[in-house]
């Protein structure tokens, strides 16, 4: 969208419109001035003015709210928040779906659904779990053994094959930790699995499902697309550092209850500082400050900014940055991936499935074709709801998101009738998100491809001038997870507080490390806090 708004970027010393010089005769509007701007998640922006510190968020998600809260906890409380959407939550997003007996809808999660890696006891507690407990979120303890398996013949037990795939993946995770510590070149998860003796035949439907469940289901990428070293890092950091216990949230207030609750600790009801439905279009950054333009003609000048855009948004050039990012930054943005994880919600008049948490389907022709269904109509969850949730990821998710609900329903019902018989009814409702098409997300969550490095990812994380970055994608160890976004929000909030008191610490020269020249594998001594590495990830 073209702007008809003109603004001045005084730090550049030239008037700018859309990142270009203003033509002679055009007026230069006055910009609102402040200290820090934090830009968050895709097309949304929080503008938080903390006693002269402006924080702008594109989307009020976990990283952005946590950054703001970290600053607010230091008594920086004068702020304005500008948000692309009409809600707080970002990719933590619930919707109304189906009908209860009284005609009111259920609440289902279009985005994140799990608290993964709870921790506690003699291990650190995952801060997302801490918040889930604080806000008493209703959730079901995940039991991966509580499953029933099917193929085109109907019910068919191939759980031993699933266990074999899981065992091979555990060996990969352990081996990858040794690879990282000893500076051994990365490889694909597929290559690592073959090395461990797991190499499923293409025509073995049961083994192909097991392969999908051990890799794609978590990352939304195939083993051929996944880094053996860094997918194992993410696994170890979450499930070894914390624990392998998970919760599936079905709370009818929505999973975002906790982030709304945390926002309420520094925002009042109907707070005039929260401006919804506003879009960031241009960001001008320098070594002296940042200027931001929004779609309503707003202009804000800040000493610092933090971009918490999704990786998908950064890759689509949705926001115009001026000057263009340096080559090391552009290379980092283009080098990482954002996956698509799509949940398909169906409601039936009544449940026709067993009381299993996971209903697994091995398609004989196509890997990952409607492979998994999770009933919400279970004891201890939404009993009596008749809701069944199908999951597709990656290529299949993008295909499904490109077609109509009816086309998807027709495909799913053919699968369900192979699983449960021809006499099951059609659903009374169907809905699913189109994450790959959402202009404020362009995907679900980030992933590391094979043969990348910590230095390459640190370039994604590092500041350019006074523009900083935060979000799940910038987390070295917890990328793709809610707690990764939370940790990065805290880290950048603490850094901003440091910047305000000691500006030299936040310059390109003395700020976050960056690596304009990449030289292969990362020396083990660089896996440290300065490079965003906070916990041990060696199995």
pLDDT score recorded for residue 530: 78
Mean of pLDDT values over 382-397: 98
Distance CA 62, CA 112 (A): 11
- pLDDT at residue 381 above 70? yes
Q: Is 509 helix (H, G, I), strand (E, B) or coil?
A: coil
Split at pLDDT 50, 70, 90, the class of 60 is low
- pLDDT at residue 6 above 60? no
- pLDDT at residue 249 above 50? yes
Mean pLDDT of the chain: 86
Mean of pLDDT values over 123-144: 97
Contact between 168 and 200 under an 8 Å Cβ cutoff? The reply is: no
- Output the CA–CA distances (angstroms, integers) from residue 307 to 72, 280, 510, in the order listed: 18, 11, 19
- pLDDT at residue 34 above 70? no
pLDDT score recorded for residue 273: 73
Pick the range with the lowest mean pLDDT from 187-191, 381-385, 438-442: 438-442
- Structure token pair of residue 267: 């925002």
Query: How many Cα atoms within 13 Å fall on the side-chain side of residue 9?
Result: 25
- Structure token pair of residue 434: 């189109």
Distance CA 481, CA 343 (A): 17
- pLDDT at residue 10 above 80? no
Distance of CA 63 to the CA centre of its chain: 10
Beta bridge partners of 446: 338
Q: List own/partner pairs for 388-392 with CB under 8 A and 24 or more apart.
A: 388/345, 388/346, 388/347, 388/348, 388/351, 388/353, 388/427, 389/108, 389/343, 389/344, 389/345, 389/346, 390/343, 390/344, 390/346, 391/217, 391/341, 391/342, 391/343, 391/344, 392/342, 392/344, 392/368
- pLDDT at residue 162 above 80? yes
- Output the CA–CA distances (angstroms, integers) from residue 521 to 160, 300, 538, in the order listed: 37, 41, 16
- pLDDT at residue 50 above 90? no
pLDDT score recorded for residue 17: 41
Split at pLDDT 50, 70, 90, the class of 91 is confident
Domains with residue ranges and CATH for the chain: 28-43+55-91+254-333+444-538 (3.50.50.60), 95-122+140-248+340-429 (3.90.660.10)
Contact partners, residue 119, CB within 8 Å, separation at least 6 = 125, 126, 129, 241, 242, 243
pLDDT score recorded for residue 329: 97
- The model's pLDDT over 351-360, given as tens digits with 9 standing for 90+, comes to 999 999 999 9
Question: What are the E-state strand segments in 211-357?
Answer: 246-249, 274-275, 280-285, 290-294, 299-308, 320-322, 337-339, 341-347
- pLDDT at residue 23 above 90? no
pLDDT score recorded for residue 471: 93
Mean of pLDDT values over 422-428: 97
- pLDDT at residue 54 above 50? no
Contact partners, residue 207, CB within 8 Å, separation at least 6 = 161, 165, 200, 201
Distance CA 296, CA 229 (A): 45
- Structure token pair of residue 401: 């998101």
Split at pLDDT 50, 70, 90, the class of 24 is very low
pLDDT score recorded for residue 25: 44
Contact between 144 and 245 under an 8 Å Cβ cutoff? The reply is: no
Distance CA 370, CA 418 (A): 12
Beta bridge partners of 243: none
pLDDT score recorded for residue 85: 79
Mean of pLDDT values over 118-141: 96
Q: Select the more confidently predicted residue: 502 or 179.
A: 179
Distance CA 261, CA 157 (A): 44
**Catalytic site residue from 83, 109, 116, 488:** 116
Backbone phi and psi for residue 282, each to the nearest 5 degrees, phi listed first: -135, 135
Q: Select the more confidently predicted residue: 510 or 175.
A: 175
Contact between 336 and 311 under an 8 Å Cβ cutoff? The reply is: yes
DSSP 472: G
Q: Is the dihedral of CA 125, 126, 132, 134 positive or negative?
A: positive
DSSP string, 262-288: HHTTTS-TT-TTEE-S-BEEEEEE-SS
- The model's pLDDT over 92-105, given as tens digits with 9 standing for 90+, comes to 899 999 999 999 99
Share of residues in the chain with pLDDT > 70 (%): 86
Contact between 211 and 514 under an 8 Å Cβ cutoff? The reply is: no
**What is the β-pairing status of strands 123-125 and 119-120?**
antiparallel
Split at pLDDT 50, 70, 90, the class of 519 is confident
pLDDT score recorded for residue 78: 58
Mean of pLDDT values over 511-532: 81
Q: Is 321 helix (H, G, I), strand (E, B) or coil?
A: strand
pLDDT score recorded for residue 7: 23
- Structure token pair of residue 124: 């650190």
Residues shown for the chain: 539
pLDDT score recorded for residue 239: 93
pLDDT score recorded for residue 79: 65
Within a 10 A sphere around the Cβ of 253, how many other Cβ atoms? 16
pLDDT score recorded for residue 55: 37
Split at pLDDT 50, 70, 90, the class of 51 is very low
Distance CA 52, CA 36 (A): 8
DSSP 473: G
Whether 28 sits among the annotated catalytic residues: the reply is: no
- pLDDT at residue 52 above 50? no
């Amino acid at each position: 969208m073209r702007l008809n708004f003109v603004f001045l970027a005084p730090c550049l010393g030239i008037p700018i419109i859309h990142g270009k010089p203003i033509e002679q005769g055009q007026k230069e509007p006055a910009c609102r001035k402040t200290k820090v701007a934090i830009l968050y998640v895709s097309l949304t922006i929080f503008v938080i003015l903390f006693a002269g510190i402006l924080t702008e968020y594109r989307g009020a998600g976990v990283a952005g709210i946590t950054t703001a809260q970290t600053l607010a906890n230091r008594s920086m409380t004068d702020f304005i928040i500008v948000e692309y959407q009409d809600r707080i939550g970002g990719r933590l997003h619930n919707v109304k779906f189906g009908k209860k007996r009284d005609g009111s809808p259920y609440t289902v999660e279009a985005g994140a659904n799990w608290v993964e890696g709870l921790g506690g006891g003699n291990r650190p507690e995952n801060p997302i779990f801490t918040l889930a407990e604080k806000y008493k979120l209703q959730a079901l303890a995940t039991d991966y053994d509580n499953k029933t398996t099917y193929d085109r013949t109907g019910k068919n037990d191939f759980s031993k094959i699933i266990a074999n795939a899981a065992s091979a993946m555990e060996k990969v995770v352990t081996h990858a930790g040794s690879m990282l510590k000893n500076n051994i070149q990365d490889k694909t998860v597929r290559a690592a699995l073959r090395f461990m003796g797991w190499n499923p035949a293409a025509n073995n439907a049961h083994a192909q499902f097991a392969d999908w469940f051990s890799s794609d289901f978590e990352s939304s990428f195939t083993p051929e697309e996944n880094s053996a070293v860094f997918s194992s890092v993410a696994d170890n950091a979450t499930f070894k550092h914390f624990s392998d216990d998970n919760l599936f949230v079905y709370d009818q207030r929505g999973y975002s209850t906790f982030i709304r609750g945390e926002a309420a600790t520094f925002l009042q009801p109907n707070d005039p500082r929260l401006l919804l439905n506003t879009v960031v279009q241009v960001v001008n950054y320098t070594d002296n400050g940042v200027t931001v333009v929004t779609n309503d003609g707003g202009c804000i000048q800040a000493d610092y900014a933090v971009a918490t855009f999704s990786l998908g948004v950064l890759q689509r050039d949705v926001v115009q940055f001026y000057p263009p990012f340096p080559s090391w930054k552009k290379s980092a943005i283009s080098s990482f991936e954002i996956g698509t994880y799509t949940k398909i919600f169906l409601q039936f008049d009544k449940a026709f499935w067993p009381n299993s948490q996971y209903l697994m389907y091995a398609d004989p022709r196509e890997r990952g074709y409607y492979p998994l269904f999770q009933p919400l109509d279970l004891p201890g969850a939404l009993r009596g709801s008749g809701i069944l949730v199908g999951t597709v990821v990656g290529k299949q998710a993008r295909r499904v998101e490109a077609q109509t609900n009816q086309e998807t329903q027709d495909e799913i019902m053919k699968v369900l009738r192979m699983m449960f018989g021809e006499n099951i009814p059609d659903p009374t409702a169907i809905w699913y998100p189109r994450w790959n098409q959402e202009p404020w997300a362009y995907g679900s969550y980030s992933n590391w491809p094979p043969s990348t490095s910590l230095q390459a990812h640190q370039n994604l994380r590092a500041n350019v001038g006074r523009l900083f970055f935060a979000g799940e994608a910038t987390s070295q160890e917890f990328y793709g997870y809610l707690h990764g976004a939370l940790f990065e929000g805290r880290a950048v909030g603490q850094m901003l507080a440091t910047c305000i008191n000691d500006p030299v610490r936040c310059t390109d020269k003395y700020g976050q490390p960056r690596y304009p020249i990449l030289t292969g594998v990362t020396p083990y001594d660089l896996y440290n806090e300065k490079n965003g590495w906070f916990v041990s990830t060696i199995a």
